[in-house]
Structures are given as structure tokens and as C-alpha cells.
């Protein structure tokens, strides 16, 4: 018999089939165990409810925070939770593991490893709701599994090769969740060490990108666009894995641009 509560983290590129997988997984679990409720937490829905737009880079940290809050709340209610998100940074997966560890529930990670060529094709077939260049960018930034002892996928599926998805999911439930086969990681709080570096780099990328966007809204700085973009890339390389808060990043990046461009940037940016 399956345990009352657990958290499943789906990992994969946009248009890889994660949402389809999540819906069938939910249906199979609830059919097999009609006393269990499964909740799918989709950040796209949270994003639309909070911002009324599909994507706003400046608000993504708010979406991420609300996403984790909803997952925690549903687990506390006794529900099984499926995180239908990209979860492509190891720091994202670690945040989910932290929640599972703190609530003493099992954690399972499923890598939907549909090749990027197929993802791009599927995305085009559905009218490209996500620009293909975004999928390419996420693919380039994707943190592979097995870099850390705690970050191991319990299952890896290429959905373009699956004929019977229901049977596949049923097998996963029976072998991994019910019987505990092929578990490469046993969840122990003392074994988990937070990987700050990727989270720090995400913040560095996000804050400097927003800063450049605001800067280029002023006609005065537009002639310097190419140099500013190049300097931003250099700044990211030089400050990779540094732990800085938002004000420190903004101040440091402003100072870096002023020194290298030999200009004075308005204080209101």
C-alpha cells in the first residue's frame, strides 16, 4: 500500500510532456487508491493568477516563493503533491527536498528526458506558446542529475519513446513508490547540504538583467547597449557563486558599469 503523503518532483524542458505525465500520474494514483487525493501544483497557473501575464522575469522570484508555499500547504493537508515545474536548477530540486524533509514525507524525482529536438517540434505543433529560443536557453542552463549525492532521479523517461504511458506510470508506482525498488537516495536531513551556488547565480542573473532593462529604457544609455550587455556577461563570470543580497548586487553592478563605461548612472535606477 502506498504511503499517505509524498512529494513527486517532475523535471524537464518545456514541451517535454511533463503536464501530460502529471495528469495521468494523478489519475492512476487516485484510481488505484481512491482514498488518496493528489494535487498538481503548476507555477504557470500561479503566474497567471498573480501577474495576469504568462511571464514577467522581475516577478519570477515571487512565483517561485508562492509555488513552494502551495506545495507545503497541500502536503500539510495530507495530500500527495506533484510539482509540475521545470525544476531544471538543482537549487529548485533542493528546495522541494527541504520541504519533504521538514514534513517527514517521501520524495521522488522523475526526469522527463524528452530530447530537446522533440520538445522544439512539439512546441511548434502546439503553436509555440513558449518561444523556441527560451527552450534552448533552459536546455543550456539545465543542471544534470548526479552532481550531488542527494540529487538522483528515481526514474528517467523519454516520452517520445513511450507507447503506453498508463502502464509505465503504474509500473513506477508499484516498483518505486510501493516496493521501494531502485531508490538511489534515502532521505535523511543530515545528508542534505544546501547548494547555494546555483541559487546565488540565479539571483545574480535576474537582478543584473532587470537593471540592464531599466537602464536601456533611458535614451541616454541606448548608444552603449552593446557594451553594457558585454559588461554584464563579464560581471556575471567574475561574480559567479558569490553570495550577495539584492542591494549588494545592484550597487556592485552599478559601480562596475560606471567604472568601465566612465559614466555616472542616475541614482534612481
- What is the percentage of the chain residues whose pLDDT exceeds 90? 53
Residue 152 has pLDDT above 60, yes or no: yes
Compute the 3-state secondary structure of the chain and give helix, strand, coil in percent, each to the nearest 5.
55, 10, 35
Q: How many domains does the chain have?
A: 2
The answer to whether the CB of 210 falls within 8 A of the CB of 124 is no
For residue 237, is it within any domain? yes
CA atoms of 60 and 23, how far apart (whole Å): 24
What domain range includes position 202? Answer: 196-261
For residue 249, is it within any domain? yes
CATH number, residue 134: 3.40.50.300
3-class DSSP assignment, residue 56: coil
Together in a domain, 100 and 151: yes
pTM over 0.85: no
| Highest-scoring range by mean pLDDT, 111-115, 192-196, 240-244 | 111-115
Together in a domain, 115 and 242: no
Together in a domain, 238 and 136: no
Residue 117 has pLDDT above 90, yes or no: yes
For residue 178, is it within any domain? yes
Single out the residue in 165, 191, 217 at which a domain terminates: 191
Amino acid at each position: 500500500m502506498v504511503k499517505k503523503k509524498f512529494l513527486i518532483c517532475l523535471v524537464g524542458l518545456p514541451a517535454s510532456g511533463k503536464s501530460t505525465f502529471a495528469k495521468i500520474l494523478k489519475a492512476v494514483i487516485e484510481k488505484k487508491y481512491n482514498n488518496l487525493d493528489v494535487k498538481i501544483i503548476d507555477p504557470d497557473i500561479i503566474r497567471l493568477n498573480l501577474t495576469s501575464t504568462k511571464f514577467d522575469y522581475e516577478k519570477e522570484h515571487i512565483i517561485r516563493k508562492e509555488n513552494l508555499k502551495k506545495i507545503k500547504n497541500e502536503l500539510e493537508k495530507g495530500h500527495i503533491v506533484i510539482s509540475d515545474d521545470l525544476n531544471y536548477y538543482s537549487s529548485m530540486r533542493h528546495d522541494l527536498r527541504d520541504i519533504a524533509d521538514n514534513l517527514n514525507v517521501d520524495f521522488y524525482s522523475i526526469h522527463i528526458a524528452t530530447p530537446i529536438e522533440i520538445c522544439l517540434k512539439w512546441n511548434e505543433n502546439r503553436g509555440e506558446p513558449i518561444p523556441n529560443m527560451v527552450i534552448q536557453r533552459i536546455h543550456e542552463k539545465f543542471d544534470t542529475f548526479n552532481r550531488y549525492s542527494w540529487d538522483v532521479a528515481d526514474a528517467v523517461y523519454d516520452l517520445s519513446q513511450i507507447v503506453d504511458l498508463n502502464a509505465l506510470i503504474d509500473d513506477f508506482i508499484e516498483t518505486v513508490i510501493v516496493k521501494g525498488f531502485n531508490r538511489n537516495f534515502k532521505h535523511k536531513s543530515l545528508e542534505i547540504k544546501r547548494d547555494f551556488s546555483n541559487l546565488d547565480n540565479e539571483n545574480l542573473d535576474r537582478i543584473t538583467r532587470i537593471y540592464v532593462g531599466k537602464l536601456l529604457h533611458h535614451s541616454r544609455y541606448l548608444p552603449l547597449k552593446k557594451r553594457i550587455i558585454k559588461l554584464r556577461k563579464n560581471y556575471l563570470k567574475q561574480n559567479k557563486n558569490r553570495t550577495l543580497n539584492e542591494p549588494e548586487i545592484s550597487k556592485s553592478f552599478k559601480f562596475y558599469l560606471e567604472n568601465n563605461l566612465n559614466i555616472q548612472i542616475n541614482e534612481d535606477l
